[in-house]
Amino acid sequence: MINKYPSLKGIYYSNPDCYEEELSNRLNNFSTRFSKLKIHPFNVKAKRRIKEKTYEIFYVPTAEIDLLKEQIFYNSKEISKQMTNLPSVANDQLFFNTLIFELQSTNDIEGIRSSKKEIGEAVDNVINKSLQEDKRFEGLVKQYLKLNNGRFNSINKVEEFREIWNELVGDEEKDEMPDGDLFRRAPEEIIDGDKTIHEGDENEKEIINDLQSLLEEMNGHYLPSIEKCFIAHYFYEYIHPFYDGNGRTGRFIACSYLARKLDILTAVSLSSTIAENKDYYYKPFMEMSNVYNHGDATFFITRMMNILLKGQQNILRRINEGLQLLKKAENIIEELNLPAQESEILFLLFQEYIFGSYAPKIPDEGLAKIIGITRYKLNKSLDNLKEQLLIETIKQNPMVHVLSKELRDKVAQLQ
C-alpha cells in the first residue's frame, strides 16, 4: 500500500511543530525536482499576492506519481492499439465524438453555453470546408483538429501565446480583447461567488517575463514530460495573461503537449474529465497558491495524473462497449441476408451510429469513396435499403442517410 503524500498546508494546520522540518526535508531532498518557475503565494483574506514571498515550484517524485505515470503510458499504448484495430469509420467517429464532448466541456467549465449539436455542426463545417461567417466555435474546432493531423503548436516565442488565443477564442471574445501590446494591461482577479480566489500577474510586463520563464520550462529538458506539462498548466493559469479565455487556451496548450507524448484520445479528453471532476481539479489549484504550501506541486501533479487516468479509463470503456455493440450489429446484418454491397453500407452506418452519436454524419458521397463504388451503384443500394425500411434520409444537400429508427432502436436495446 502506498502512503499518501500529505500537503505542506495540511501539515501546517494539523501538526505545526513539524512544519519547518518537513519543509526543509522536501526542499533539500536529493530526489526533489525544481522547475525554475517562481510564484508569489496568494492571501485570500487580503485578496492579494504576497509579493514579499517568492517560491520556486517543485515536486517530490513519489511512488504514487511513478505508478500513475506507468499506468498512464500503459493505457495510452492500449488505446492506440484499440484505435488501430477499429474499423476506419468507427475510428474517425470515435475521435470526432470525443472532440465534441471535449469542446463542450472546455466551454462549460468557463460558463459558456454550447450544445453538442452546435459544436458538431462546427466540426462538420470545418471538415467540409463550408465555414460560416461569425459561426461560433469554428476557431476552437480548427485548432483541435490540427492535433489529430499531427500539427502541434510549437511555442518558441511569447507572441505565440497571443496567436493561440486569437485562433482559439478571439472570435468569441471580441469584447474582452487584450488592451496591451499582446496581453492584458490591467490587473485581473478571479472571483468565486463573492470571494477573490486568485490574482493574475499585475501588468503586461510581469506577464511577458513570466511567460518567457514558462517557455524556457516547456522547452527545457530538466523535468519529465507529464510532470512538466502539469506544472506548466498551473503556471499559465497563475499568470492569467488575458481577461478571458485563459482556461480554454491553457487546457488547449496542455492538450497539445499531451498529444505529442500520448495518444490523441487521451489528450482530447482532458477537459471533459476535468468537467466531471471540477472540485477535484480546483482544490489543488487553490492549494498551490497557499502561503504554507511553499510552491510544492506534488499534490497538484498527482491530482492531474489521476484526472488523466480517469479519462483514459472512460475511453477504454467506450471502445470496449462500442466493439461489443458492433459485433452484435454484424449479427443483425447477417440475419438480414442482404447483398454484400448493401451489407457493407449498413455496417458503415452502424459504426457511425455506435461510435459517433454527436459526430458529423457521413454524406453519400463519402460512403461511395469509402466503399470504392460509383454514386450510381451506391444510390441503387441505398434505394433498396430504403425500400426495406433499413435506412432513412436526413439531409438532401448534400444527401445523407442514417440507420432507420427501427435499427437504431435495436442497437439501443442491446446496450
Q: Is 311 annotated as a binding residue?
A: no
Q: Given CA atoms 366, 371, 375, 378 in this order, what sign does their dihedral have?
A: negative
Q: Is 245 annotated as a binding residue?
A: yes
Q: Is 260 annotated as a binding residue?
A: no
Q: Is 247 annotated as a binding residue?
A: yes
Chain Cα centroid distance, residue 226: 14
User: Residues for the chain: how many in total?
Assistant: 415
Give me the amino acid identity at 112. I
Among the listed residues 319, 300, 182, 166, the one whose alpha carbon sits nearest the alpha carbon of residue 234: 300
Q: Is 246 annotated as a binding residue?
A: yes
d(CA 152, CA 264): 11
d(CA 116, CA 13): 44
Q: Is 221 a catalytic residue?
A: no
State the catalytic residue, choosing from 40, 198, 240, 294: 240
Neighbouring-strand partners of residue 399: 396
d(CA 286, CA 42): 9
Alpha-carbon distances, residue 320 vs 324, 327, 403 (angstroms)? 6, 11, 22
Helix ranges, 244-360 (H): 246-261, 264-267, 270-276, 278-288, 298-336, 340-355
Q: Is 250 annotated as a binding residue?
A: yes
Q: Is 322 annotated as a binding residue?
A: no
Task: Name residues whose C-beta falls within 8 Å of residue 389's C-beta, 6 or more positions apart in sequence.
Answer: 404, 406
Alpha-carbon distances, residue 233 vs 162, 166, 360, 403 (angstroms)? 16, 19, 31, 42
d(CA 163, CA 342): 48
The three grid cell numbers given for residue 264, joined into one nine-digit string: 490523441
d(CA 32, CA 25): 10
**Residue numbering of the annotated binding site:** 244-251
**Residue numbering of the annotated binding site for ATP:** 244-251
| Catalytic residue ranges | 240
